[in-house]
Amino acid sequence: MTKLPDDSTLAQSGLSPTGSSGRILLLACGALAREILDLIKLNNWSHMDLTCLPAIFHIHPEKIAPAVRDAVAKHRDTYDDIFVVYADCGTGGQLQKTCDELDVQMVAGPHCYSFFEGNDRFAEISEDEFTAFYLTDFLVRQFDAFIIKPMGLDRHPELRDMYFGNYEKLVYQAQTNDPALTKKAQDCADRLGLDFERRFTGYGDMAKALKAL
């Protein structure tokens, strides 16, 4: 049975690792689990398994590289290859350094907003969008848990303008065409006092990186 991760537990795709030739472990951020499982199912990538680290590392990037190192050590003997489905994600180059030391590959790019948009495209537009606040499908679903509560806005809503006063718009990078999520993303923009823009990015460069495996 396929199991999606909560914010703190390890999740797998439900495919039993056998250690047979060609098996690949995708070691990913929990915030990407739904999208990766969709890609595995869509492409019938039966040689791939998924293990996720806690999605809450999104706001604790200093924990990512050590957790990846531990997970690779735990699973290396079971798989022929391990691919890290993180970009730099605020680690300041530490994750890339760790992956190089462990001789494993990772997704290229500074963060998931970039590889969902497409790294080349994001590099082109980022200088004109430094006042944009980005949300993905996952962050729209988990807006209160990952944005409102960690910033204390549930207790002190008056802090909103201090945090977001320099932003102008919220950009929702949609991985799926879901009207309910779009409506919720619009509500998120309204709560932050920002203009709203929706872009359908699909899975972006993450899909290309996994397909290359």
pLDDT score of 12 = 45
pLDDT score of 21 = 63
> Residue 104 — φ and ψ, nearest 5°?
-125, 155
Domain 24-107 -> CATH class: alpha beta
pTM for the model stands at: 0.87
Q: List the strands of the sheet with 24-29, edge to edge.
A: 48-53, 24-29, 81-85, 105-106
Q: What is the pLDDT along the chain (213 residues), one digit of tens a residue?
A: 333 444 333 344 444 444 456 899 999 999 999 999 999 999 999 999 999 999 999 899 999 999 999 999 999 999 999 999 999 999 999 999 999 999 999 999 999 999 999 999 999 998 889 999 999 999 999 999 999 999 999 999 999 999 999 999 999 999 999 999 999 999 999 999 999 999 999 999 999 999 999
**Is 92 within 8 Å of 100 (Cβ atoms)?**
no
pLDDT score of 127 = 86
pLDDT score of 2 = 35
Going from N- to C-terminal start, the domains of the chain cover: 24-107, 118-200
Distance, in Å, from the CA atom of 161 to the CA atom of 148, rounded to the nearest integer, reads: 13
